[in-house]
Amino acid sequence: MTQRGVNGVRDAYDVVVIGAGLGGMTCANRLARAGRSVLLLEQHTQLGGLATWFRRKGHLFDVALHGFPVGMIKTVRKYWSKEVADRITQLRGIRFDNPQFRLTTDYTREDFTRLLVEDFSVPAATVQAFFDHTRSMNFYDDDGRTTRELFEEFFPGRTDVVRLLMEPITYANGSTLDDPAISYGIVFSNFMSKGVYTFHGGTDEFIGLLEKELLASGVDVRTKARAERILTEPDGRVVGVAVNGVTVGARSVVSNGNLKSTVLDLLDADVLPADFRTQAEAVRINTSSCQVYIGLKEGETIDYMGDLVFTSTAPTFDTDAMLAKEVTSRTYSVYYPENRQSVGRTAIVASSNARYEDWTGMSEELYKADKARLAEATLDDLSRYLPRIREMYDHLEVATPRTFERYTLHRGGSSFGTKFEGLPVSQNLPQAAPGLFHTGSVAIIMSGWLGAANYGVIVANEVDKYLGRGQET
Ligand SMILES: Cc1cc2nc3c(=O)[nH]c(=O)nc-3n(C[C@H](O)[C@H](O)[C@H](O)COP(=O)(O)OP(=O)(O)OC[C@H]3O[C@@H](n4cnc5c(N)ncnc54)[C@H](O)[C@@H]3O)c2cc1C
């Protein structure tokens, strides 16, 4: 059973995993199945990290279950179970509504090809070349171009095409036209094969099933257990963690917490080579999000309006406008009762990208007033699609970058880890502090449900190699 706190923990484990986000959970499960003794520490009261949910008076809200690529089915089947993978289902309708176009798609390569050729009049050969190019992009052949340059090559001057191709990805991982094209290409190709997927039954049931698997694999799972320090020998080698005032020995430690917090806060300042610390300090945190959760009254139903509705009133795609506090672009995720039989109610979550700085450094009074303004503006906007929305709901709540920071300890409430330069810092950490690894959202490509889970697997393999055979604790 998952226990609260650290009472009864063993003196030492092969691996201590700090943080039970999708990266940390997947890493812990894989290592335990490989025969390693694993302690999983989560500071919050529930597992999942950003893959989370909350209940309010008969409502249940998903926080980060808007959609993920088809690759999640394979990852979950291989590293968790077939039972969990079998509940992943495709979203039916992704809608776009902005001043440049209105359309509905299933977000598959076939349908996007049709749209680009027939509705946007792009030559079929250009569409095919773009898809082939993005699919072939990989780390090793990175030519250093930005996403803006990539679009300029294939669709010069076509702001409408750029919007169609970029806007969902900006929502999906906070990336901009100035980020490396490779980070766009990899994420776009992941989505743009067989559409967008969700977990039937919601995040609570998904994480509940993963928790059962973790326990069955023998992971010692602890909530309300906050790692305060990562302990090292004078040569930098990792030997354990301090958690809730208790010291636990470990032959290796995996941090699933924020990359910068791991390197700059959890380790003593003199442990890492100075140039490595400097490199970590220079890593930029990705942006954050605001969400407005709207729960409809019992008995209130709506006609199908799409699963994801990307809306914007901005004239063209503009990441600054997407991040601005005066919101012009929102994604509505609609959760119909059919997918949520345990709740039987409709919920709508309006997400917008946001900057941490816009929501901090103000009085509590102003903060509350700004949240109320965001709620009102969202209801106004949503009434374009659901004119009776103000009569239909009986619960509304707003989350801001501060909320995400509070529940996950992510610096700046970052929804998607760090910018691209975080990747070498995350990957090279074991060279700087032997036995210490990092997994979870970094560098855009390792973020999102699929990216974080896959990175958990990659890091588990590295840890297993580091530990070697025949010396389990
Ligand atoms: C609003 C929003 C919407 C999103 N929508 C989608 C979506 O539709 N599709 C998609 O694929 N992705 C989405 N994402 C992103 C996705 O949820 C994340 O990228 C992914 O879940 C991150 O996993 P992670 O492994 O990096 O860990 P995280 O989820 O970041 O979890 C890290 C965990 O570590 C714990 N922790 C940190 N420090 C400590 C410590 N010192 N001691 C103990 N525990 C600690 C935290 O409490 C947390 O539980 C969304 C994110 C947000 C915020």
Question: pLDDT per residue over 225-276, tens digit each?
Answer: 999 999 999 989 999 999 999 999 999 999 999 999 999 999 999 999 999 9
Closest CA to 457 of 84, 40, 78: 78
> pLDDT tens digits, residue range 291-306?
999 999 999 999 999 9
Q: Separation of 206 CA from ligand 1 center, angstroms?
A: 14
Residues 180 and 220 in one domain: no
Residue 284 DSSP label: P
Q: Confidence band (pLDDT; 50, 70, 90) for 343?
A: confident
Testing ligand 1's pocket by substitution, the residue of 39, 61, 214, 256 carrying the most ligand atoms inside 8 A of its CB is 256
Region 392-399: mean pLDDT is 98
Looking at 371, 386, 408, the residue that finishes a domain is 408
pLDDT score, position 429: 97
Residues 366 and 435 in one domain: no
Q: Confidence band (pLDDT; 50, 70, 90) for 319?
A: confident
Strands 12-18 and 246-255: parallel
Residues 289 and 277 in one domain: no
Euclidean distance between CA atoms 460 and 473, whole angstroms: 17
Residue 115 DSSP label: I
Residues 269 and 163 in one domain: no
Alpha helices (runs of H) in 201-293, residue ranges in sequence order:
203-217, 259-261, 274-281
CATH number at residue 10: 3.50.50.60
Per the prediction, the chain carries an average pLDDT of 95
State whether the beta carbon of 197 lies less than 6 angstroms from ligand 1.
no
Q: Separation of 448 CA from ligand 1 center, angstroms?
A: 8
Q: Which atom of ligand 1 is nearest to the CA of 228?
A: 41
Residue with tokens 């798609």: 105
Alpha helices (runs of H) in 393-446, residue ranges in sequence order:
401-408, 422-432
Helix (H, G, I), strand (E, B) or coil at 343: coil
Residues 124 and 60 in one domain: no
Q: Is residue 386 part of a domain?
A: yes
Q: Separation of 179 CA from ligand 1 center, angstroms?
A: 21
Euclidean distance between CA atoms 305 and 5, whole angstroms: 44
Res. 470: pLDDT tops 60 = no
> pLDDT tens digits, residue range 44-90?
999 999 999 999 989 999 999 999 999 999 999 999 999 999 999 99
State whether the beta carbon of 160 lies less than 6 angstroms from ligand 1.
no
pLDDT score, position 67: 95
Looking at 174, 196, 218, the residue that finishes a domain is 196
**236, 271 in Cβ contact below 8 A?**
yes
pLDDT score, position 408: 94
274: how many CB neighbours lie within 10 A of its CB? 9
pLDDT score, position 142: 72
User: Hey, whose CA ends up nearest to atom 37 of ligand 1?
Assistant: 257
Q: Confidence band (pLDDT; 50, 70, 90) for 447?
A: confident
| Burial class (CB within 10 angstroms; exposed 0-12, middle 13-18, buried 19+) of 429 | buried
Res. 23: pLDDT tops 70 = yes
Residues 289 and 341 in one domain: yes
Looking at 155, 180, 196, the residue that finishes a domain is 196
Euclidean distance between CA atoms 134 and 140, whole angstroms: 14
Q: Is residue 472 part of a domain?
A: no
Residues 294 and 377 in one domain: yes
Euclidean distance between CA atoms 260 and 277, whole angstroms: 10
Percent of the chain with pLDDT over 90: 88
Euclidean distance between CA atoms 262 and 425, whole angstroms: 11
pLDDT score, position 472: 55
Euclidean distance between CA atoms 397 and 293, whole angstroms: 5
Contacts for 240 with CB less than 8 Å, ≥ 6 apart: 12, 16, 230, 231, 247, 248, 249, 250, 253
State whether the beta carbon of 44 lies less than 6 angstroms from ligand 1.
yes
Res. 140: pLDDT tops 80 = no
Residues 181 and 211 in one domain: no
Q: Is residue 152 part of a domain?
A: yes
> pLDDT tens digits, residue range 179-225?
999 989 988 998 888 999 999 999 999 999 999 999 999 999 999 99
Res. 141: pLDDT tops 90 = no
Lookup: tokens for 151: 């679009």
pLDDT score, position 473: 57
Helix (H, G, I), strand (E, B) or coil at 409: coil
Residues 121 and 185 in one domain: yes
Q: Is residue 454 part of a domain?
A: yes
Residues 115 and 8 in one domain: no
State whether the beta carbon of 199 lies less than 6 angstroms from ligand 1.
no
Q: Is residue 364 part of a domain?
A: yes
Q: Separation of 449 CA from ligand 1 center, angstroms?
A: 8
Cα dihedral angle (261, 267, 268, 274), rounded to 10 degrees? -80
Q: Separation of 17 CA from ligand 1 center, angstroms?
A: 15
Residues spanned by the domain of 179 = 107-196
Where is pLDDT greater, at 141 or 84?
A: 84
State whether the beta carbon of 409 lies less than 6 angstroms from ligand 1.
yes
pLDDT score, position 436: 98
Q: Is residue 97 part of a domain?
A: no
Residues 236 and 379 in one domain: no
Alpha helices (runs of H) in 81-123, residue ranges in sequence order:
82-85, 109-114
> pLDDT tens digits, residue range 409-434?
999 999 889 999 999 999 999 999 99
Q: Is residue 138 part of a domain?
A: yes
Q: Is residue 275 part of a domain?
A: yes
Residues 392 and 356 in one domain: yes
Where is pLDDT greater, at 446 or 384?
A: 384
Q: Confidence band (pLDDT; 50, 70, 90) for 171?
A: confident
Whole-structure pTM value: 0.96
Euclidean distance between CA atoms 456 and 31, whole angstroms: 10
Name the CA radius of gyration of the chain, rounded: 22
Q: Separation of 404 CA from ligand 1 center, angstroms?
A: 9
Number of domains in the chain: 3
User: Hey, whose CA ends up nearest to atom 35 of ligand 1?
Assistant: 19
**40, 470 in Cβ contact below 8 A?**
no
State whether the beta carbon of 445 lies less than 6 angstroms from ligand 1.
no
